[in-house]
Amino acid sequence: MQALTRRLPGTKGFPRTLAGIALTVLVASAAATAVRYGLIERDDLGPVCDALSAPRWCTLRMLVIQGFLNDVYGRASVALAALALWRRSAIGAWLAVAVGTGGMVLYTFTWSGVGVLGGAMMLARLQGQWREDRETKQDAR
């Protein structure tokens, strides 16, 4: 990776940004996988939640299910990526990557993928702008 970044101009902070994106994807995937296989796909939870005196956590289970049925995670990741672009917000871009990754694990791949890519591209763009700002400030001194 370092050999590639030495040859390409303007990629000085790229490995750090790529590592951050990979870590965010890994953590969000782990959390969404735990929700998917621990809360949604368990066959024994359906009858428990269909009972008249269902536990309170069944409400959370139904909210998660309604979220992927209505593509909430994909739409949220695209909206966060658009917000990050509009406000030049790294937090919005990181959230777009995290929510989009969770959405891809929770069955809403198409729009969640768009949000992940949008957030990742915004993070790369912001990394380049931060590097240029630092170089400009150093040249002014």
Domain ranges of the chain: 16-140
In this prediction, residue 113 carries a pLDDT of 96
Per residue in 94-133, pLDDT (tens digit) is 999 999 999 999 998 999 999 999 999 999 888 877 777 7
| Model confidence, pTM | 0.83
In this predicted model, which residue has the larger pLDDT, 134 or 33? 33
Residue 74 has pLDDT above 70, yes or no: yes
In order, the DSSP letters of 10-50 are T-TTHHHHHHHHHHHHHHHHHHHHHHIIIIIS-TTHHHHHH
Residue 90 has pLDDT above 90, yes or no: yes
